[in-house]
Amino acid sequence: MLEVTRLRAGYGAINVLWDVDVRVAKGRLTTIIGPNGAGKTTLLRAIMGLIPVGGGEIRIDGQSRAGTSTWDMARLGVAMIPEGRMIFGDMSVEENLLMGAFHKSHRAQAQTNLAHMYELFPQLKERRNQLAGSLSGGESQMLAIGRGLMAEPRMILVDEPSLGLAPVLVQEIFATLAGLKAEGRTILLVEQNTHMAVGIADHVYILQAGKVVLSESASNVELQQIHSVYFAR
């Protein structure tokens, strides 16, 4: 469904990604793991059209999409759930969710989707009128995921959803991701929690210093192998 080939991208004169090849199969969960600063967020930003592409290709369903605006990527059914959640703290939980359905084509379905989000995340329903800034870390992450889902994406790019969460909440977030996969959504998950990410994934990539250093079916990956890549630096 998503094919990234020989992608180069970075910030101004600084190139971060060096000929990155990543394939995300439809209905599968693909994870990209790797140390801090490896370029994981940069990769998601480049796919989403948030930073320019310096070289290579990004294809969605076979169509060339490198350089497509973020707006149009959303219209194509791709949603990003950013690192650090990026929720609007001085707006209510419900207003944040409705922000996810800003595009004209999603507005008609907004109330139905809102009800669906409250089924998925009952805690958010209880807190629907509360300011989002008052939510706990786990609830904030649920809100960020819920907001992304409001646009009815076919593919979601999730950036480090477990960051800073207590283990019990990490379990909850991964259970949510497993549920989304079971619904048939295509997921590209960036994580530093390698154990959990490999456990839920179909395919694993390791990104290191802007390069893919491992691409392997999750069932063939051993954590030992991952750790040796991490510590070989």
Q: Which of 4, 38, 144, 173 binds ligand ADP (CB under 6 A)?
A: 38
Task: Compute how many residues bind ligand ADP; rule: CB under 6 A.
Answer: 11
Burial level of 62, CB count in 10 A (0-12/13-18/19+)? exposed
Q: Which of 40, 127 has the CB closer to ligand ADP?
A: 40
Q: Which of 41, 186 has the CB closer to ligand ADP?
A: 41
Alpha-carbon dihedral 81, 162, 24, 35, rounded to 10 degrees: 110
The verdict on 36 binding ligand ADP (CB under 6 A) reads yes
Separation of alpha carbons 202 and 181, rounded Å: 11
The verdict on 114 binding ligand ADP (CB under 6 A) reads no
Separation of alpha carbons 117 and 164, rounded Å: 23
Tokens of 100: 């996810």
Q: Which of 70, 92 has the CB closer to ligand ADP?
A: 70
The verdict on 11 binding ligand ADP (CB under 6 A) reads yes
Q: Which of 41, 140, 141, 186 binds Mg ion (CB under 5 A)?
A: 41
Return the one option of ligand ADP, Mg ion, none that residue 42 interacts with (CB less than 5 to 8 A, by type).
ligand ADP
Residue 211 C-beta: closest distance to ligand ADP, Å: 12
x/- mask, ligand ADP, residues 41-60, rule CB under 6 A, reads xx------------------
User: What is the three-class DSSP state of 130?
Assistant: coil
Q: Which of 7, 33, 40, 132 binds ligand ADP (CB under 6 A)?
A: 40
HEC sequence for 59-74: EECCEECCCCCHHHHH
Question: Whose CA is closest to 3, among 230, 229, 178, 215?
Answer: 215
Which residue ranges make up the site for Mg ion (CB under 5 A)?
40-41, 83
